[in-house]
Amino acid sequence: MKTTKNVAWLIALLKARYPDAICSLESRDALQLLIATRLSAQCTDARVNVVTPALFAAFPTLDAFVEAQPEDVLPYIRSCGFFNTKSKDIVAMCRMIKETYGGRVPDTMEALIALPGVGRKTANLILGDVYGKPAVVTDTHCIRISNRLGLCKTEDPYKVELALREILPPEESNNFCHRLVLFGRDVCTARAPKCTECPLLALCPWGKKAAGKK
Ligand code: SF4
């Protein structure tokens, strides 16, 4: 389905269904979004949103995190899983932001992925949502739905990112990925996609096959 016309149609359909393409992680600034995204690995955004208000109340500034030890952060994030690694990464990334980047969350892919615990997914989220740069956040929903729609044929997040960057207009890519997350929770779920009532069915090879079997 990868014609320019079909991609434009797909973007329009998702836009119509989800006019507000916002990230479901709650944050007040770049640093909070970075930390919330680190916490969201192997955890739901809903759980992260439960945990972060108390975390950010206890550590309200970059300096508060810089001066903390990972053991100080750990009790606040325990329910997010992988709390030992995550608490170490959060303190280490804050120290690096202070020492290397003058206290500002960096705005390039290279600098972001050099931060402890930060991969391309997190870096793309910061670049898109904070700095308004063209970004492609390849989370589990994005990877699954892009494959079903025939936009790519790979589960590798980096390859999915490259495939989507090739076909999406740069100014649409960040919001497109946010919309795929909403769509993946709502319609194109992992186990029981609602293909027969899906607005994208006409564009979806996987869905047509699945619907035809019923
Ligand atoms: Fe997902 Fe089915 Fe819609 Fe395709 S038709 S996008 S598989 S819900």
- Whole-model pTM: value is 0.91
CB 145 within 8 A of CB 139: no
- Residue 139 is among the residues annotated as catalytic for this protein: yes
Q: Is 1 in the pocket of ligand 1 (CB under 6 A)?
A: no
The residues, any chain, with a CB within 8 Å of residue 211's CB and separated by 6 or more, are: 195, 196, 201
Distance 32 CA to ligand 1 centre (A): 33
Q: Is 184 in the pocket of ligand 1 (CB under 6 A)?
A: no
Which residue's CA is minimally distant from atom 1 of ligand 1?
188
CATH number of 1-214: 1.10.340.30
Distance 53 CA to ligand 1 centre (A): 35
Distance 104 CA to ligand 1 centre (A): 40
Q: Could you tell which of 151, 200, 208, 214 is best to mutate to test the pocket of ligand 1, judged by most ligand atoms within 8 Å of the CB? A: 200
CB 177 within 8 A of CB 160: no
CA nearest 181: which of 123, 136, 151, 150?
136
Which residue's CA is minimally distant from atom 2 of ligand 1?
195
Q: Is 198 in the pocket of ligand 1 (CB under 6 A)?
A: yes
Residues 130-162: tens digit of each pLDDT: 999 999 999 999 999 999 999 999 999 999 999
Domain ranges of the chain: 1-214
Residue 1 pLDDT level (bands cut at 50, 70, 90): low
Taking the C-alpha atoms of residue 31 and residue 84, their distance in angstroms, rounded to an integer, is: 20
Taking the C-alpha atoms of residue 82 and residue 89, their distance in angstroms, rounded to an integer, is: 11
- Alpha-helical runs (H) found in the chain: 4-17, 30-39, 45-58, 62-67, 70-77, 83-101, 109-113, 120-129, 140-148, 157-167, 170-186, 205-213
Residues 183-197: tens digit of each pLDDT: 999 999 999 999 999
Mean per-residue pLDDT of the chain = 95
* 3 has pLDDT over 90: no
The tokens of 110 are what?
A: 């290279």
So what's the pLDDT on residue 214? Answer: 53
Residue 176 pLDDT level (bands cut at 50, 70, 90): very high
Residues 110-121: tens digit of each pLDDT: 999 999 999 999
Q: Is 207 in the pocket of ligand 1 (CB under 6 A)?
A: yes
Distance 144 CA to ligand 1 centre (A): 10
Taking the C-alpha atoms of residue 17 and residue 179, their distance in angstroms, rounded to an integer, is: 9
Residues 43-63: tens digit of each pLDDT: 999 999 999 999 999 999 999
Residue given tokens 């989507």 in the structure block:
164
Largest CA distance in the chain: 59
Q: How far, in Å, are 68, 93, 112 from residue 99 at the CA level? A: 15, 10, 14
Q: Is 194 in the pocket of ligand 1 (CB under 6 A)?
A: yes
Question: Strand, helix or coil at 15?
Answer: helix
Which of 98, 121, 159, 209 is catalytic? The answer is 121
- Residue 121 is among the residues annotated as catalytic for this protein: yes
